[in-house]
């Protein structure tokens, strides 16, 4: 089957390319190949590639910047998704569109299922939610996949890294590191998302999905596993979100429950700590010889 991945050189896109290429003919599309905010560019690119399935990882996800440039964020996260959905519908392409745990406000304080009502708190979250609706309602054969706390081999290009690379950098540069213990999420490797996506697209069960690791953890506990596994010596302390200036409203609890994947019997997402330790040992240790220990 012929597939195309938009954002193929990004954090999630890189792992999608690697995993999906094992069974499919996969074309990577980046900004030079397609401009998702321009429907003519989308139509031309997809008409040339002719994929059976299109996977979109492109997003404007620098959360504080989205507050300053809401129109730009909506162009990419909203209109971009709309254009992809419209053209996918025209050309008979299945669309996979990735979204975020940030569509929720965190007030529930229990894992969110696909049945829960979103209440986005920020410009970024609002634009991502609009993209979900566009994808689901303008393309009959679409999957929308919400993810949480992702990290991968290739750091996020827009942010210049991910939580793991940031922690290592701070551990090497600062006398101590403080991380919040009252913001709860589920860290999830992009490789596991790619593997479970590969299973999902073999079904005709279109719709909305949560796809995160099992369990929940604070950012501090997330960092603690990084410290223990990599044997970092820099002191690590727990802090509160109140200790840091809040630049953008965000959910302080955004754990996702993979209810729809479980219903289909295809939930292959691992427990967060096992997945994190495996990633740190196989991907981080060999590539960070300068980690101070």
- Domains in the chain: boundaries: 2-154+187-214+253-270
Where is average pLDDT lowest: 37-51, 97-111, 150-164?
A: 150-164
**What's phi and psi for 128, nearest 5 deg?**
-70, -40
3-state helix, strand, coil in the chain (%, to 5): 45, 20, 40
What's the CA angle centered on 290, arms 286 and 293, to 5 degrees?
A: 95
Question: Would the CA dihedral through 187, 121, 76, 169 be positive or negative?
Answer: negative
Mean pLDDT of 49-59: 97
| CATH fold of the domain at 2-154+187-214+253-270 | Rossmann fold (3.40.50)
Token pair listed for 172 = 């090497």
Grouping H, G, I as helix, E, B as strand and the rest as coil, residue 280 is: helix
Mean pLDDT of 150-154: 90
Mean pLDDT of 119-144: 98
Band of pLDDT at residue 283, cut at 50, 70 and 90? confident
The bridge status of strand 217-218 relative to strand 184-185 is: antiparallel
Integer Cα distance of 31 and 41 in angstroms:
11
Nearest alpha-carbon partner for 5 in 91, 89, 94, 73: 94
Band of pLDDT at residue 288, cut at 50, 70 and 90? low
Token pair listed for 291 = 């980690």
Token pair listed for 112 = 């969110």
pTM: 0.93
Integer Cα distance of 216 and 108 in angstroms:
14
Nearest alpha-carbon partner for 207 in 142, 264, 138, 115: 142
Band of pLDDT at residue 287, cut at 50, 70 and 90? confident
- Structural contact between residues 49 and 87, judged by C-beta atoms closer than 8 angstroms: no
């Amino acid at each position: 089957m012929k597939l195309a991945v938009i954002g193929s050189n990004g954090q999630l896109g890189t792992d999608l390319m690697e995993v999906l290429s094992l069974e499919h003919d996969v074309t990577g599309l980046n900004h030079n190949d397609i401009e998702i905010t321009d429907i003519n560019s989308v139509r031309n690119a997809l008409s040339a590639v002719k994929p059976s399935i299109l996977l979109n990882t492109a997003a404007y996800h620098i959360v504080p910047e989205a507050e300053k440039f809401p129109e730009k964020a909506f162009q990419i996260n909203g209109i971009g998704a709309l254009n992809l959905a419209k053209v996918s519908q025209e050309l008979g392409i299945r669309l996979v569109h990735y979204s975020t745990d940030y569509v929720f406000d965190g007030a529930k304080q229990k894992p969110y299922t696909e049945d829960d009502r979103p209440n986005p708190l920020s410009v970024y979250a609002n634009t991502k939610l609009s993209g979900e609706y566009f994808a689901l309602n303008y393309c009959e054969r679409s999957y929308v996949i919400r993810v949480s706390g992702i990290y991968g081999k290739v750091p996020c290009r827009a942010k210049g890294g991910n939580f793991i690379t940031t922690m290592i950098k701070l551990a090497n540069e600062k006398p101590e590191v403080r991380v919040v213990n009252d913001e709860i999420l589920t860290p999830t490797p992009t490789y596991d998302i790619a593997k479970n996506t590969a299973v999902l697209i073999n079904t005709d069960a279109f719709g909305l999905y949560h796809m995160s690791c099992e369990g929940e953890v604070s950012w501090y506990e997330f960092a603690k596993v990084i410290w223990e596994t990599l044997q970092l010596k820099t002191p690590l302390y727990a802090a509160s979100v109140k200790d840091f200036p809040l630049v953008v409203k965000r959910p302080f609890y955004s754990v996702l429950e993979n209810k729809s994947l479980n219903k289909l019997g295809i939930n292959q997402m691992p427990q967060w700590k096992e997945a994190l330790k495996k990633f740190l040992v196989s991907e981080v240790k060999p590539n960070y010889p300068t980690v101070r220990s």
